[in-house]
Structure 1
């Protein structure tokens, strides 16, 4: 469908846009249609309940709840209610529970009485207070997923040591592990300590302890990989450092050389490949097939080969997007009235758009075009608006414009989109709010911008 549209069969696209993309995907396999529908309905029902439960039981935002629902499927409130009730009885606050569920949502499906309760009682029997227990486990909730008591003890004590040491105003080096040399736990603790010594923060450091990834399990390989990443200049305080370490640890030197050679064959310089690695380390995970498919998709959007290389160099994350997600994003914009020429411009200026959901693209475009009456060309000229939060950035600023137009202070035509949406908050407020001499008007506009109603005096 996508390739046909991009070669000019616009009428077919518009007809297909009336149908659900999910339905089209299901029809691709007619023999399994009924079972697919049943599975899809069950999945949607579970996802809908999960989102609703997280919003109402923990006060999480809908957006965050939708993200969590892709990792855990709750069928009813019985089990998660039992888990939350148990944790609250041990002194966990709502804030800590939100953090736990966000980082380890599968805990909501655990057996509260048969599995979690004995582990909590065991940790308390070792002298942990309720406040210490909740603080430690909210940092690394995956500890509660460990089965053996000895392992739980080791990881819990280490996390506790890190937390207490980091509370000191001076850097405190952790004591050496007393575990048998060469054991997996000893390797993990030693390697985590090495990362901490380099400045890797708690939020990135502690979750690695219980990770299934083999990153921390080795000794010589870990040291070698760590040395390479440090020499590349990655900042240990950022997530890119850990991501780069994972990649270097995963592949042999020969495998890395082969991947670099592949990109060189595509037309990149070696220095460009490593520059892209510095921007987005996981880009080296992509297979040659995935990269080739990505390039073909971009060609169908009207980009020339040199433009594609430039785009990938600028935004290597785009290679990781699935073909389905990319096609949905492009199909959505075509359905909304953008031309293939518009897509080419948008891709050059804001390639991130192909990683956004169809729902987000549609909602933002319809608000700007239908509600605010900006033309599609305005969106094409400032495609970064697709990346702005509708709730936190776009709507508040547009509400200020509406207020000014209602009062006749802006003229009959909207200003161009870029000065309104693409500038920083301070620049926007100075241009459209603070410049007015009427203090009452400024206060009113500020209230409109922040979404807070002014009290009548």
Structure 2
């Protein structure tokens, strides 16, 4: 199941606190269920290596969640299926409903929310407060349509303080000085890696905007940059 010696060692480290009876009564039935519905062995292995405690869920509840995820339209042969199962294992029915209601406050329909979940299961793993704050940032600060977020739900999982606000501030300063185009695709900006963002939008302009790196690192207030 684990493949390499390194993965076996990591598996032992993660699983050592789980009683043997849990393997017999939970892990084996749950793994066998995933096999029966066509989840690839490599995906099951990833679940066990990354989220071992998910495998010791009560088999009755585990089966209910697996069936629910299938009904939502996830394909068991795809890797997102495992992520969706894990996401659902982390919340009960009332928690799911509360998060759905948070999204509905932004005029998203049940169909929209399910479409976003199928695209990126992690979008419902964020807290209700995080969802509200991030949606407020995208819709009210950045002017995105809610449909834009539905089609790119991965944008929900990014950190406001460490990623979204610093990058938006850098782009706004560069646009105000005419150094980058006004119609830049911000979704790409937010999704790019740290190194890619620095190389494209910070390092090339540090001579023209001396405090740009400080702004990005949160060491300078945005208002002080726009008044220069």
| Aligned counterpart, 1:242 | 13
Q: Distance in 1 between matches of 2:64 and 2:23?
A: 25
Q: Which residue of 1 aligns with 2:47?
A: 276
Query: Which residue in 2 is equivalent to 1:386?
Result: 156
Which residue does 2:135 correspond to in 1? 365
Q: Structure 2 CA distance, aligned partners of 1:298 and 1:380? A: 19
1:450 matches 2:217: yes
**Residue number in structure 2 paired with 1:311:** 80
Q: Secondary structure at the match of 1:391?
A: helix
Contact 1:298 1:308 in 2 (8 A): no
* Structure 2 Cα separation of the partners of residues 272 and 453 of structure 1: 44
The change in CA–CA distance for 1:263 and 1:297 in structure 2 (over 3 A counts) is closer
**TM-score normalised per structure 1:** 0.42
The number of residues matched between the two structures is 221
User: Hey, what does 1:321 align to over in structure 2?
Assistant: 90
Please list, as runs of the form range in 1=range in 2, the aligned pairs for 1:215-254 lying within 5 A after superposition.
233-234=6-7, 236=9, 241-247=12-18, 249-253=20-24
Q: Does 1:346 align with 2:116?
A: yes
* C-alpha distance after superposition, 1:229-285 (max 9, x if no partner): 89875364x6x6433223463425475433333333444355643442123211211
**What's the Cα RMSD here?**
3.4
For residue 207 of structure 2, what is the aligned residue in structure 1?
439
Q: 1:307 to 1:326 in 2, by over 3 A?
A: farther
Q: What is the CA-CA distance between 1:397 and the residue it aligns to?
A: 0.6
CA–CA separation in structure 1 for the residues paired with 2:219 and 2:74: 50
The structure whose Rg is larger is 1
* Deviation, structure 1 residue 360: 0.4
Distance 1:291 1:259 in 2: 7
Looking at structure 2, the residues matched to 307 and 255 of structure 1 have their Cα atoms a distance apart, in angstroms, of: 20
> Is 1:396 the counterpart of 2:171 in the alignment?
no
Aligned to 1:429: 198
User: CA offsets, 1:430-450, max 9 Å, x none?
Assistant: 2223333x7142x23222212
Question: C-alpha offsets along residues 333-363 of structure 1, whole Å, 9 cap, x if unaligned?
Answer: 1221223343234223321122211110110
| CA distance in 2: counterparts of 1:299 and 1:334, whole angstroms | 23
> Would the alpha carbon gap of residues 232 and 322 (structure 1) be closer, same or farther in structure 2, given more than 3 Å must change?
farther
Aligned mates of 1:435, 1:295 — CA distance in 2: 49
Q: Which protein, 1 or 2, shows the higher relative CO under an 8 Å CA cutoff with sep ≥ 6?
A: 2
Relative to structure 1, is the Cα distance of residues 273 and 424 closer, same or farther in structure 2, using a 3 angstrom cutoff?
closer
Q: Secondary structure at the match of 2:203?
A: coil
Superimposed CA distance per residue, residues 70-107 of structure 1 (whole angstroms, 9 cap, x where no aligned partner): xxxxxxxxxxxxxxxxxxxxxxxxxxxxxxxxxxxxxx
TM, length-normalised to structure 2: 0.77
Query: For each residue in 1:173-227, what CA deviation from the matched residue of structure 2 results, as whole angstroms up to 9, or x when unmatched?
Result: xxxxxxxxxxxxxxxxxxxxxxxxxxxxxxxxxxxxxxxxxxxxxxxxxxxxxxx
SS in 2 for 1:451: coil
The aligned residue for residue 288 of structure 1 is 59
